[in-house]
Amino acid sequence: MVGDGDAGLRLAAWEPVDVFILDIGLPGMVGYALARRLRATPGGHADKLIALTGYGKEQDRLLAMSSGFDHHLVKPVDIAALTKILLRR
């Protein structure tokens, strides 16, 4: 677990990450920007990017998907839905 977007990028550069679960309202770099940067980093992206956010409007979901997220979940998270996503290959 890391606390901001820059730390997430550093983590992705150091070790393979299967899944990133990102808040959208991160300090220093919003989750949309972090997702785009992770997707653009050769070898530095995860297989799954999951937005976990308080932003739950349809436009928020569309923005998440266009930024490179694979999934968009709204807080409070439905643990069954998150588990299903994490177990899916």
Over residues 40-57, the pLDDT tens digits come to: 887 656 789 999 999 999
pLDDT of the residue at 89: 74
Residue 52 DSSP SS3: strand
Domain definitions of the chain by residue range: 5-87
Given a cut of 70, the residues of the chain with pLDDT beneath it are 43-45
pTM: 0.91
* pLDDT value of position 45: 65
pLDDT at site 77: 96
Distance from C-alpha of 18 to C-alpha of 45, rounded to nearest angstrom? 8
Taking alpha carbons only, the member of 25, 24, 78, 76 closest to residue 51 is 24
Q: What is the mean pLDDT of the chain?
A: 91
CATH of 5-87, one of 3.40.50.1820, 3.40.50.1360, 3.40.50.2300, 1.10.132.20: 3.40.50.2300
Q: What is the pLDDT of residue 43?
A: 66
Opening angle at CA 45, ends 22 and 64, nearest 5: 40
